[in-house]
Amino acid sequence: QQKVQQSPESLIVPEGGMASLNCTSSDRNVDYFWWYRQHSGKSPKMLMSIFSNGEKEEGRFTVHLNKASLHTSLHIRDSQPSDSALYLCAPHSGGSNAKLTFGKGTKLSVKS
Amino acid sequence: NSKVIQTPRYLVKGQGQKAKMRCIPEKGHPVVFWYQQNKNNEFKFLINFQNQEVLQQIDMTEKRFSAECPSNSPCSLEIQSSEAGDSALYLCASSLLVNTLYFGAGTRLSVL
């Protein structure tokens, strides 16, 4: 059973600050990672995915991946109160329609 | 707004009662997933389908839980004899390919 470790469990950053979230998988067959975001009382929505080693940037969001260490991180610059949400990491392995195993998430609060 | 439709939004049952929830996947999406999200925000994969066929399911699902995705009808998840520990948010998600999951709003089950 794959384990997905996310840290920190919760994070408070000031508006305009940088938020850094981490995720590590125990499954050496992981081929890519997904990040989902779930606002309070809402369903999760896909935020970003990363397939290759290195970095991927989309607007204020940057994802890093190190496949050797099975570690990914999500960085949010210029954090906004609307970024306050539960951020879920989901490593993928086992075929295109295999289940995703979600981590417990990092609860981000952006304080104005 | 999500194109995955889940009904009902809220479901209240007594212990031992049946609980049934439905999901209409996004049009054209052949893969459907059911997840349970508990009060600690932890996700548990229950079952997934490709068209009408079960791809993967967990042991728990094989006992009190049953699910189906009949052709031209909503998918459904049913708990035969509800237990207090089943109280959770049940999320249905559909996927076209490569595991971008599109979640419905969920059915929040309370077992009294």
Q: What would the pLDDT profile of B51-101 be if each residue is shown by its tens digit?
A: 889 988 887 666 899 999 998 899 999 999 999 999 999 999 999 866 689
pLDDT < 70: residue spans in chain A: 96
Q: What would the pLDDT profile of A85-105 be if each residue is shown by its tens digit?
A: 999 999 988 776 778 899 999
Determine the pLDDT at residue B59: 79
Query: Would residue B101 be called left, alpha or beta, if left means φ above 0 and alpha means ψ between -120 and 50 degrees?
Result: beta
Dihedral sign, CA of A58, A14, B38, A90? positive
Determine the pLDDT at residue A66: 94
Contacts of A89 in chain B (CB under 8 A): none
Q: Which residue of A has its CA nearest to B36?
A: A102
Determine the pLDDT at residue B106: 97
Closest CA to B80 of B34, B16, B21: B16
Contacts of B31 in chain A (CB under 8 A): 97
Q: What would the pLDDT profile of B8-20 be if each residue is shown by its tens digit?
A: 999 999 999 999 9
Interface A:B, Cβ pairs < 8 A: 53
In B1-112 the beta strands, taken as DSSP E runs, fall at 5-7, 10-13, 19-24, 31-37, 43-50, 53-57, 65-68, 75-79, 88-95, 102-103, 107-111
- CA distance linking residue A64 with residue A75, whole number of Å: 8
| CB contact set of B17 (below 8 Å; sequence gap of 6+) | B81, B82, B111
Residue B39 pLDDT greater than 90, yes or no: yes
Which residue reads 């940037």 in tokens?
Answer: A57
